[in-house]
């Protein structure tokens, strides 16, 4: 798909928020060396998209009903309903146009469902026309225990709002800490056309394979034995890809 500009653009509204980073093919160095060397499928999935971080360190405590939160700016745990980032309300009003005063997105919101909390990154994400954004947990990156992140696909070419994730706490009575130097989510731009019902429903299942299919499998199975053949072929094709063929990203104010 041809693009005249970046597929994805971030806008940082909270200046202290860590900038997004291109996702790491090694998943932060956590995958086995052999997998990094030979498993191109794994490393490609790891590196697809951008890491987005929590805008500050904080902790959540779920008591089975109410959720409490804490950060270095608080003397004690506070009951969570909705909480703003430090000075964010005033900062938002200073930068926002008339008519949006008082509309600063909350940093944390306790949702109606037990143990469910919405976390804002301090960013807004926009995609190019015809592109949407998959928001998910970091791919193959071991996360701290105590929560799981929901996955969602947002039409960010049509909808402009805060880039957030919803996390479900899985422990009660124990603080769960979120660090600003660890990825909170991974975002991946996707062509919106892939979501069309006609595309997703048009997936035939054939009994056996045709001669063309068997020939393709024979070429794969008859290739030189040894680990990493697929990785070598895929990387060779990648080197032949013309510059600028992959979607870009930009960060703006």
The CA distance from 228 to 89, in Å, is 52
Is 136 a residue whose pLDDT tops 60?
Answer: yes
Residues 79-97: pLDDT tens digits?
A: 999 999 999 999 999 999 9
Of 170, 164, 168, 171, nearest in space to 185 by CA: 164
- Tell me if 71 is assigned to some domain: yes
Residue 210 domain-assigned?
no
The residues, any chain, with a CB within 8 Å of residue 155's CB and separated by 6 or more, are: 132, 192
pLDDT at 140: 93
**Does residue 9 surpass a pLDDT of 60?**
yes
- Is 63 inside any structural domain? yes
Residue 158 lies in domain: 8-196+216-252
Specify if 206 maps to a domain: no
CA distances from 87 to 15, 72, 93, 102, 163 (A): 11, 15, 10, 12, 19
Whether residue 149 lies inside any domain: the answer is yes
More confident residue, 105 or 224: 105
Q: Domain for residue 184, yes or no?
A: yes
Residue 211 lies in a domain: no
Give the predicted TM-score (pTM) of the model: 0.87
Q: Which residues pair with 60 in a beta bridge?
A: 69, 176
Are the C-beta atoms of 131 and 5 separated by less than 8 Å?
no
Q: What is the CATH number of the domain that holds 90?
A: 2.70.40.10
Residue 179: name the closest of 218, 144, 138, 223 by CA: 144
Task: Specify the pLDDT at position 143.
Answer: 86
Number of compact structural domains in the chain: 1
**Residue 209 placed within a domain:** no
- Residue 168: pLDDT above 70? yes
């Amino acid at each position: 798909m041809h693009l005249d500009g970046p597929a994805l653009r971030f806008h940082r509204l909270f200046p202290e928020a860590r900038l997004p980073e291109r996702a790491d093919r090694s998943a932060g160095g956590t995958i086995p060396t052999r997998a990094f060397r030979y498993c191109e499928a794994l490393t490609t999935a790891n590196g697809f998209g951008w890491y987005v971080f929590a805008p500050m360190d904080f902790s959540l405590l779920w008591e089975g009903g109410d959720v409490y939160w804490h950060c270095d700016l608080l003397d004690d745990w506070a009951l969570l309903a909705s909480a703003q980032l430090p000075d964010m309300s005033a900062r938002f009003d200073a930068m926002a146009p008339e008519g949006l005063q008082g509309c600063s997105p909350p940093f944390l919101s306790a949702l109606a469902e037990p143990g469910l909390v919405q976390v804002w990154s301090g960013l807004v994400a926009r995609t190019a026309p015809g592109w949407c954004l998959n928001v998910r947990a970091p791919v193959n990156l071991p996360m701290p225990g105590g929560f799981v992140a929901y996955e969602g696909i947002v039409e960010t070419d049509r909808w402009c709002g805060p880039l957030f994730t919803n996390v479900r706490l899985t422990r009660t009575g124990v603080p769960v800490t979120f660090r600003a130097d660890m990825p909170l989510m991974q975002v991946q731009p996707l062509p919106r056309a892939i979501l069309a019902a006609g595309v997703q429903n048009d997936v035939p299942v054939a009994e056996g394979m045709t001669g063309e299919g068997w020939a393709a499998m024979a070429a794969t199975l008859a290739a030189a034995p040894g680990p990493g053949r697929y990785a070598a072929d895929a990387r060779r094709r990648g080197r032949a890809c013309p510059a600028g063929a992959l979607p870009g990203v930009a960060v703006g104010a």
